[in-house]
Amino acid sequence: MLERFFPGEYLDSTYDIDFERLYGEGYRGLLFDIDNTLVPHGAPADERAIKLFDRLRAIGYQCMFLSNNKEPRVKLFAEQVGYPYIYKAGKPKILNYKKAMEHMGLTQENTIFVGDQIFTDIYGANRAGIRTILVKPIHPKEEIQIVLKRYLEKIVLHCYRKSK
């Protein structure tokens, strides 16, 4: 039952992902959450994030941001790294995962979602049929509703680790 919340992979950081290997496996599109996946909550794109998206562009990926946050926050980050975005995405609803793939001209088979939250990012992408990578949150400071969900995520992660 909890398997629907399990990520395809669970890594320490977005910056640890072997994007070259994944490109070699045929993946061409990357969907990202922003806050606590790429930078601390509310932070602008930093040098590390800018370098990552320059690297992804050089590899040949199409990227897009899928965030439940409001447009001013998402737009700021997306413009700094030069990729499109969907704000107030309503994750875990699958509608905007599909819109993002359509916008990039890609499919479930060649798209990956990277995020830090199980019950929004991973669950939604799993429901949309997209490969998922869960990363540990970058910074412990989070909004209260997210802090509360982290306790439940620990249970899911315990079960996920036992299943491996």
What is residue 143's predicted lDDT score, i.e. its pLDDT? Answer: 67
Place of tokens 């562009």: 57
Mean pLDDT value of segment 70-77: 96
Supply the pLDDT for residue 43.
93
Q: Distance between CA atoms of 41 and 98, rounded to whole angstroms?
A: 25
Q: pLDDT digits over 18-69, tens only? A: 999 999 999 999 999 999 999 998 899 999 999 999 999 999 999 999 999 9
Share of residues in the chain with pLDDT > 90 (%): 82
Q: Mean per-residue pLDDT for 141-157?
A: 77
List Cβ neighbours of 7 (8 Å cut-off, separation of 6 or more): 118, 122, 132, 133, 134, 160
Structure tokens belonging to residue 110: 């060649």
**DSSP labels for 102-130?**
HHHT--GGGEEEEES-IIIIIHHHHHTT-
